[in-house]
Structure 1
Amino acid sequence: MSWPILFFAAGLGTRMGELTKDKPKPLVEVAGRALIDHALGFAETPGIGPRVVNLHYKGAMIRDHLSQENVLFSDESEALLETGGGLRHALPHLAQSPVITMNTDAVWKGPNPIAQVIAAWRDDMECLLLMVPRSQVSGHLGEGDFTIDDAGRLHRGKGDIYSGVQIIRTETLADIKESRFSMNIVWDQVAARGGLFGVRYSGQWCDVGQPSSIAIAQSMLHV
């Protein structure tokens, strides 16, 4: 089985302030590498592909940066579609279901997060989110996104942090009429049907969401 993957790289990166005035957030560097390169590195394994990157803010810079990579681009230059809309817009490039999606604004220390979520996937799941216990999180300002029950199902609440990696059956997007929508709308619908599951990442994770997070991320990586 092959695993198509979408890397979310279309956001405006407004929380990064001056760092994203002249470049898109995925090109901000941590430990000498652009954030998007940290993410793409986890997909350089057999069985993963096609690799798709969505674009909006300063998308041409990302195209140029990845010109030597084996990736496809989903262009949202006309309108930013948020995460759910961006995923649906990219479906012609992804070709099949289920698919993996990964945010490009975090760094990891530990096992390959993509491999871990694939290993935990089961046929009875509609959507599987890779979660991180708060004790293993750096640089994140939130209080938690979901709790995980004994069956592995997710429920809204101040529990673990969503890491930005998921596997999702794209058929679940069909009932949403809006062209621009958040994955949160999808997750709530899937959770109501009992199809939203979570698995905990076993390593360390840093959310690079604001300038101060860069030093925190580099410290986590011991750079």
Structure 2
Amino acid sequence: MPTATAFRPRHAIVLAAGLGKRMRPITATVPKPLVEVAGRALIDHALDRLAQAGIEEAVVNVHYLAHLVEVHVRRRTAPKVTISDERDLLLETGGGIKKALPLLGPDPFVVMNSDSFWIEGPRPNFDWLFTTWDEARMDALVMLAPTVTAVGYSGPGDFVMDKDGRIRRRPERTVAPFVYPGVALLHPRLFDDAPDGPFSLNLLFDKAIEAGRLYGVRMDGIWVHVGTPEAIREAEVCVQESAA
């Protein structure tokens, strides 16, 4: 259930350090965050969403073709961008966020994949995410896209959700109704006792599931999975149709 007063985070981290292997050959010379959809780099679509949601400062982690990403994002005026440098060692999603925690402050913050791309519904999704946040019950609140309406995604889904919004993993050999599109609101305490070095954020999601403190909110609109060169055209068609 949404809380009476929406929490409004000031900080976010955009995960932009991945290798983009499935986007090759494009990513042989262009890092995936700079791949363009509808005339705009994927990372700009993500940062634009954050700016519209009132995020004031965004950390961007970099590794592959790091200099290109760094030069690109430093041209922005909103949100203010700080670089978390992973040139020496790619830390994966969890390790990258843990390294950036000193830049993110003591309050809950947004994590967003640089290729998180969606067509908004009637209500902005970040408004719904922030309104649903309840620090007393949650260590993490993830945005969930319905698999049946996702564009460019054909997998079995990631999560099931109960009537109270608590989520758990898809049981083996089943199909789940929701996929994680790479957007969440996290409390820094989720990283208490997290390992050093590279590790997946999924490790901490599983920890939160065991504690009953991982919740989800259903995305409004359409999530577009931009994972391959072929998916770029699908995403652009969605943008054109939404503007018609």
TM, length-normalised to structure 2: 0.87
* Matched ranges for 1:36-75 at <5 A: 36-45=43-52, 47-69=54-76, 70-75=80-85
Q: Is contact 2:144-2:217 (8 Å) kept?
A: yes
Partner in structure 2 of residue 146 of structure 1: 159
- Tell me how far 1:46 sits from its aligned partner: 6.7
- Note closer, same or farther for the CA distance 1:139–1:46 as it changes in structure 2 (3 Å cut): closer
Residue 137 of structure 1 aligns to a residue whose secondary structure is coil
Structure 1, unaligned stretches of length 5 or more? Answer: none
Distance 1:207 1:183 in 2: 19
Give the structure with the higher percent strand: 1
- Partner of residue 100, structure 1: 110
Superimposed CA distance per residue, residues 40-95 of structure 1 (whole angstroms, 9 cap, x where no aligned partner): 00111474232111101011001111222221111111100000000001111111
Distance in 1, matches of 2:28 and 2:124, equals 31
Return the match for 1:34 from 28, 41, 46. Answer: 41
- Determine helix, strand or coil for the equivalent of 1:125: coil
Indicate conservation of the 8 Å contact 1:42/1:113, yes or no. Answer: no
Q: Is the 8 A contact 1:42 1:112 kept in 2?
A: no
SS of corresponding position for 1:52:
strand
| Partner of residue 166, structure 1 | 184
Q: In structure 2, what residue type is equivalent to 1:114?
A: F
Aligned to 1:189: 207
CA RMSD, Structure 1 to Structure 2 (Å): 1.4
Gaps of 5+ in 2: 1-7, 171-175
Corresponding residue for residue 117 of structure 1 = 129
Are 2:9 and 2:110, in contact at CA under 8 Å, matched by a contact in 1?
A: no
Aligned length, in residue pairs: 223
The worse-fitting range, judged by mean Cα deviation, of 201-210 and 66-75 is 66-75
Structure 2 residue 210 is matched with structure 1 residue 198: no
User: 1:96: Cα distance to partner?
Assistant: 2.0
Q: TM-score, normalization: structure 1?
A: 0.95
Aligned ranges for residues 123-134 of structure 1 at < 5 Å? Answer: 123=135, 124-134=137-147
Aligned identity (percent) is 39
Name segments (4+ residues, structure 1) moved above 4 Å: none
What amino acid maps onto 1:156 in structure 2? Answer: R
Cα shift at 1:188: 0.3
